[in-house]
Structures are given as structure tokens and as C-alpha cells.
Amino acid sequence: MSDKSDADTSQLSGGMKRRVLIAMALVHKPQVLVLDEPTAGVDVELRRTLWEFTKELHQQGHTIILTTHYLEEAEALCEKVAIMQDGEVKALDSTHALLSKHSYRYLRVTLSQPAQQLIPPLEQRLVESEHNRLVFKLEKTASMTELLAWLHENQLQVTDVSSRDASLEEVFLDLTSGERV
């Protein structure tokens, strides 16, 4: 920022203005720092820089309260998360606990050709479909073998499969849409 020390703040880019605001907040070395949407409207490079800087501040002992609509950001940066809807706290727990309480995992399958129609057990679990790639929401207690058997029963040839746990965004959507996590 030193190369911009003589510039008028109204002439700075959005990302540089964001840096100035954070620098101003840190001048008196606060123990608690509130960051309200710190990466809104910034480019990818600045976002990563801000994430790293935030992590460094936390490691130095600062308590950081982050408000964000970017749940990927909250998942990456926060040890504890409060999910709010209409001013009401829907959940407050460690990020890990919130993610592990989610009842589902997601299976992405790639088929040799697009599916024309799916049998009911598959159709009920389908959350995303793009050409020959399908994503299914599957209870953590359910067997992946069962899903693969349904695909076989539907005469669909699987060329690739991967699974992942729920993201914080999916936990948020389940909590705020009335579904149980």
C-alpha cells in the first residue's frame, strides 16, 4: 500500500479501498476485529491475500468476527459458525461439528451417455444433472453400492464416480429451508 500513500482514497480501486479499511481497523491493534464482508467485490488474488492475512491475525491472538454471505469463505476461515435467518440464530457450533452433523454426502457420477429417465430411487436423490454428469444426495448411512446397483438396474454405465461430504453452503440451505440436518 505504500506506493499509494499519496493517493486520494476516492481514486483507489475497490480492492485497494478494502485494504485501506482493514489497515484503519488495525491501527490501534484491537484484540477483537469485526470484518463485515471483507472480500465482497474483490478479485481472486486479493481475496486469497485477505484470507491469509486474516489467518495470520488469528494466529497472533486476535479474535475475528466475520460476517459473510460467502459460505466457502466461512468454511475456510472460521473455527465456529453461527447461521442466521431473519435475525434468528439457526445454528451455532464449530465448523467441523456443523459439517459432520449433516446427514448426507454427495456422489457425482459420470455416465458413458446421458440418462434419458431415472428409476424412482435415483430420481428422488438427484440434485444436479448436466449432460452425462449426475450428482446424488445420499444419506450417510446408505450404501454407495446400493446407488451403483440402482444405476446398473437403470442400465446406465458409470465411467467415473466420486463422493464428498456436504459443504457449509449445503448445511446452510438445509437449515434455512426447514429440512433437518
List the domain boundaries for the chain: 2-98, 103-165
Residue 149's pLDDT is: 92
pTM for the full predicted model: 0.71
> What is the C-alpha to C-alpha distance for residues 15 and 130, in angstroms, rounded to an integer?
35
Eight-state DSSP code of residue 162:
E
* Inter-residue contact 111 to 132 (CB < 8 Å): yes
- Tell whether the torsion through CA atoms of 141, 144, 149 and 152 is positive or negative: positive
Residue 29's pLDDT is: 82
Residue 127's pLDDT is: 93
CATH of 2-98, one of 3.40.190.10, 3.20.20.70, 3.40.50.300, 3.55.40.20: 3.40.50.300
Residue 2's pLDDT is: 58
Residue 146 phi/psi, 5-degree rounding, is: -65, -45
Residue 40's pLDDT is: 83
Residue 51's pLDDT is: 87
- CA dist 125 → 22, 89, 109, 146, 171 (Å): 44, 29, 13, 12, 16
Residue 4's pLDDT is: 59
Residue 10's pLDDT is: 79
CATH of 103-165, one of 1.10.3470, 2.60.40, 3.30.70, 1.10.760: 3.30.70
Q: Closest Cα partner for 118 from 144, 92, 89, 147?
A: 147
* Inter-residue contact 49 to 19 (CB < 8 Å): no
10-residue averages of pLDDT along the chain (181 residues) = 66 76 81 88 85 89 91 92 93 95 93 91 93 93 90 93 93 79 51
